[in-house]
Each structure stands twice: as C-alpha cells, then as structure tokens.
C-alpha cells in the first residue's frame, strides 16, 4: 500500500478559496432525499468551481463531502417550488432541467446556455411538472438499454457538469 502524499500544506478549503474565478453555473437539487446524493452533487459543484447550490424541499443533510466549503460556495434552501422559481427569476441563471421527457434534448448535441442552473430531480420521481413547465431547456443523458434506463442523480450531476465544463473550455 502506498503512503498518502498530501497536496502541500493547504486544506481543500484553502485550495478552493484560492480559485479567482468561479465558473458561471449553479446546481439545484430538487427533492433529492438521500444525503449521499446531495453530497455527490455538492462535491461535483465544488470540484468544478460552480457558484452556488440550491436545495428545494430537502432537509438539512449530513454534509460529509462539503468539508466546510459551504462557507465559500453557498447553499440556499427553499421549502417549495414556488419560492425557488421566484428566486431564480431574480437571477441571471438559465434553468436547465436534467430529465427524460419527450421534449428532452440529448446531452451530446445540447448547447449549454450562459449561466446555467442545472436542476436534478428526486431519486424516486425526478422533476415535477411545475419545474419542467417553467424552463426552456430540458436535457437528458443518452443511455443504451432495452428497458427505460436511468442513472443515479449524483452520477448524473457529474456527467452533465463535466459536459458543460468540457464544452465551454
């Protein structure tokens, strides 16, 4: 077994604080129920230097993966869809729902708008019609299976955010 080699003497928080420019995207976890998925989404957001995270309808969660970084990359909670939508209208974000619908565009061909707020739905039910009817952009990750496939919401966040960063760089 190899010995752990630290990245200098800086903590993860110090390394993120050093980032001069955050990428102009945010994420919203809409009705996500499990701590592991909220941690995966937040970890992806922070690793790709996103601006902020919104959580709709979820309780506070065990923030194992945040390592205190929420002091740098803020998390805002909303009790319901209406309060989130009212807030997002006051920002420069463009909502991008990640969901499998008849109107979804393949992630392969999707052209990301400026300042996207990627919205990921609950593990059991996905996104509600209230959210889907209030967005211009619905994107899905193409999958190749014989039955109706879906990915874990935490995994989906990593794929979509990586695609965004890859396409803008």
| pLDDT tens by residue, 99-121 | 999 999 999 999 999 999 999 99
Question: Would residue 105 count as lying in a domain?
Answer: yes
Question: Would residue 139 count as lying in a domain?
Answer: yes
The edge-to-edge listing of strands for the beta sheet with 94-98 is 75-78, 52-56, 26-30, 116-120, 94-98, 137-140, 105-106
Q: Number of structural domains, the chain? A: 1
Altogether, the residues listed in the chain come to a count of 169
CATH number of the domain that residue 117 is part of:
3.40.1280.10
| pLDDT tens by residue, 31-73 | 998 888 898 899 899 889 899 999 998 666 666 656 666 777 8
Provide the residue range defining the domain that includes 52. Answer: 26-168
Residue 88 has pLDDT above 90, yes or no: yes
Residue 8 has pLDDT above 80, yes or no: no
Question: Would residue 16 count as lying in a domain?
Answer: no
Question: Would residue 79 count as lying in a domain?
Answer: yes
Give the integer Cα–Cα distance in Å for 40 and 104: 24
Residue 10 has pLDDT above 70, yes or no: no
Give the integer Cα–Cα distance in Å for 169 and 165: 6
For residue 145, what are the CA distances in angstroms to 126, 139, 158? 19, 18, 20
The DSSP bridge partners found for residue 116 are 94
């Amino acid at each position: 077994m190899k010995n752990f080699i630290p990245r200098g003497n800086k903590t993860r928080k110090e390394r993120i604080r050093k980032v001069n420019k955050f990428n102009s995207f945010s994420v919203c976890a809409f009705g996500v129920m499990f701590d592991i998925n909220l941690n995966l989404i937040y970890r992806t957001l922070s690793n790709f230097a996103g601006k902020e995270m919104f959580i709709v309808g979820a309780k506070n969660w065990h923030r194992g993966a945040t390592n205190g970084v929420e002091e740098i990359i803020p998390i805002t909670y909303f009790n319901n869809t209406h309060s989130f939508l009212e807030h997002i209208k006051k920002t420069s974000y463009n909502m991008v729902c990640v969901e499998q619908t008849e109107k979804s565009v393949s992630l392969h061909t999707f052209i990301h708008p400026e300042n996207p707020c990627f919205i990921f739905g609950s593990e059991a039910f996905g996104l509600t019609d209230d959210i889907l009817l209030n967005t211009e952009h619905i994107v899905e990750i193409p999958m190749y299976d014989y039955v109706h496939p879906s990915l874990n919401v935490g995994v989906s966040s990593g794929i979509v955010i990586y695609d965004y960063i890859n396409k803008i760089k």
